[in-house]
């Protein structure tokens, strides 16, 4: 069975689970499923003319493109003495010999189409930077997932449609930045929740609509009505609105909050001092001369990273750090961005009424959930210390203006420094985007 035929079968099964009916013809839904995931770069091989997919898009437009399975066909003669007499000559000679390989599929993989940076995975279509996955289309940047469609940042996630930044979630639709959840729809920043719809910034909820927990039978009635409406609209329009589009244009009605904030690990200069020391050490090792004043090299170091953006909380004016497109390529509305502590307080104290829960629909969700729909965009977990102006990190230390880090140390102006392994000292200053 070819890739899309198999994915059609899995898509029908997933929609039957999520929307209580099969929605055939996966190809009709592909434009909608592509909207949460940055598309692969597609080029034609200079050797064969076939299409080649690239997960990384930093290559020069006039590069020579080939597929990974064509690399053995490239034959280059050794450089001669005149080509290595100085750096300019060497770079020119290498430019003539350089080919960039796409369609990178590694390990035990099969039925992978229009995808790259895929390892130990099967039946993948228009995917990138994934490992140990099965039956995915238009997904990116994750591992150990199956039966997911249009999802960005899935980790150990199954049967998810149009989700982003999920971890150990099951049977979810339009679930954002959440973990350990199952059977949830249109929700953001929830943890340990089951059977929830339109919930925001809460933990351990069950049978909840708009942060309001209902009896099992009452919740089932509300859910079944909403799911039927979703299925009907999908059949007719081949798409549903995103969570962000429901609230992105609505004016702010939440009063200002005075929530006590814990000291943030990105405050203080200890992380910058450690990163400065590491920067000097690394440049001395790699270039033979120590460079100082890391901020002077910011533009160079950030050429192939994603820059950290400063925002203000919509309800207090406090400073927030975020990497806007690290959560999704759809922007989280600035007018509804809040700190982590503020988000949890709003989630704890705010819920819709029972009557509003029963009359909730896609058309009125923006109005009825106006007081709930606020989004934190700064995340950290584990044990962290000395993280000056960093954002989105787990178990890291001694770093400066870096993001999307796990088990890393002494990094500066760095993005995604290899989340699967420990990165220490300033070797990460020169890193490029990695899977």
Q: Quick one: tokens of 288?
A: 């033979």
CA angle, 324 as apex, 331 and 154 as ends, to 5°? 85
* Burial of residue 287, with CB atoms counted within 10 A of its CB: 0-12 exposed, 13-18 middle, 19 or more buried: exposed
- What is the spatial distance between Cα 178 and Cα 196, in angstroms, rounded to a whole number? 12
pTM, full prediction: 0.88
CA distance readout (Å), 210 to 53, 65, 193, 332: 41, 50, 13, 19
Q: Which residues, including other chains, have CB under 8 Å from residue 77's CB and lie 6 or more apart? A: none
Question: Residues of the chain with pLDDT > 70: what percent?
Answer: 91
Q: Which residues, including other chains, have CB under 8 Å from residue 49's CB and lie 6 or more apart? A: none
Task: Name the least confident of 148-152, 245-249, 357-361.
Answer: 245-249
- What is the spatial distance between Cα 408 and Cα 395, in angstroms, rounded to a whole number? 7
Q: Report which secondary-structure segment, H or E, holds 140.
A: strand 140-143
Per-state percent for the chain, helix, strand, coil, to nearest 5: 30, 30, 40
* Burial of residue 344, with CB atoms counted within 10 A of its CB: 0-12 exposed, 13-18 middle, 19 or more buried: middle
Over the chain, what is the mean pLDDT?
Answer: 89
Of residues 186 and 266, the one with the higher pLDDT is 186
- What is the spatial distance between Cα 98 and Cα 385, in angstroms, rounded to a whole number? 41
Of residues 258 and 158, the one with the higher pLDDT is 158
Does 328 score more than 50 pLDDT? yes
CA angle, 252 as apex, 335 and 152 as ends, to 5°? 45
Q: Quick one: tokens of 138?
A: 């238009």
Does 149 score more than 80 pLDDT? yes
- What is the spatial distance between Cα 194 and Cα 207, in angstroms, rounded to a whole number? 7
Q: How confident is the model at residue 254 (pLDDT cuts 50, 70, 90)?
A: low
For 175, list phi and psi in degrees, rounded to 5. Answer: -100, 130
Average pLDDT for 335-344: 91
Q: How confident is the model at residue 418 (pLDDT cuts 50, 70, 90)?
A: low
Q: How confident is the model at residue 80 (pLDDT cuts 50, 70, 90)?
A: confident
What is the reported pLDDT for 378?
85
Does 4 score more than 90 pLDDT? yes
- What is the spatial distance between Cα 141 and Cα 33, in angstroms, rounded to a whole number? 15
Of residues 369 and 268, the one with the higher pLDDT is 369
What is the reported pLDDT for 405?
84
160 Ramachandran zone, left/alpha/beta (phi>0; psi -120 to 50): beta
Of residues 407 and 212, the one with the higher pLDDT is 212
């Amino acid at each position: 069975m070819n890739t899309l035929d198999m994915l059609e079968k899995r898509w029908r099964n997933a929609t039957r689970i999520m929307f209580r009916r099969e929605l055939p013809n996966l190809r009709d839904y592909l434009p909608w499923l592509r909207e949460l995931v940055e598309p692969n770069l597609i080029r034609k091989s200079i050797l064969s003319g076939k299409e080649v997919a690239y997960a990384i898009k930093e290559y020069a437009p006039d590069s020579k493109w080939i597929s990974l399975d064509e690399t053995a066909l490239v034959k280059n003669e050794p450089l001669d003495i005149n080509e290595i007499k100085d750096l300019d000559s060497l770079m020119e000679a290498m430019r003539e010999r350089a080919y960039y390989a796409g369609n990178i599929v590694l390990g035990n993989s099969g039925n992978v189409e229009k995808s790259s940076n895929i390892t130990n995975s099967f039946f993948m279509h228009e995917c990138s930077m994934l490992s140990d996955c099965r039956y995915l289309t238009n997904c990116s940047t994750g591992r150990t997932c199956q039966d997911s469609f249009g999802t960005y940042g899935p980790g150990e996630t199954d049967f998810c449609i149009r989700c982003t930044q999920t971890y150990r979630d099951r049977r979810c639709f339009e679930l954002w930045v959440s973990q350990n959840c199952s059977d949830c729809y249109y929700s953001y920043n929830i943890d340990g929740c089951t059977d929830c719809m339109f919930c925001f910034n809460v933990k351990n909820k069950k049978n909840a609509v708009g942060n309001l927990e209902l009896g099992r039978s009452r919740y089932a009635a509300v859910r079944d009505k909403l799911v039927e409406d979703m299925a009907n609209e999908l059949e007719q329009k081949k798409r549903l609105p995103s969570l962000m589009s429901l609230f992105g244009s609505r004016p702010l009605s939440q009063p200002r909050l005075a929530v006590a904030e814990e000291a943030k690990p990105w405050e203080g200069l200890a992380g910058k001092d450690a990163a400065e020391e590491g920067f000097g050490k690394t440049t001395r090792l790699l270039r033979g001369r120590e460079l100082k004043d890391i901020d002077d090299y910011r533009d160079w170091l950030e050429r192939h990273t994603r820059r950290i953006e400063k925002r203000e909380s919509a309800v207090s004016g406090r400073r927030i750090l975020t990497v806007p497109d690290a959560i999704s390529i759809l922007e989280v509305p600035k007018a509804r961005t809040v700190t982590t502590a503020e988000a949890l307080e709003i989630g704890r104290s705010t819920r819709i009424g029972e009557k509003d829960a029963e009359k909730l629909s896609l058309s009125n969700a923006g109005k009825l959930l106006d007081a709930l729909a606020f989004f934190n965009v700064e995340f950290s977990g584990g044990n962290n210390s000395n993280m000056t102006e960093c954002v989105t990190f787990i178990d890291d230390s001694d770093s400066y203006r870096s993001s999307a880090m796990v088990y890393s140390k002494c990094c500066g102006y760095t993005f995604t420094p290899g989340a699967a392994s420990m990165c220490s000292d300033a070797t990460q200053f020169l890193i490029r985007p990695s899977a």
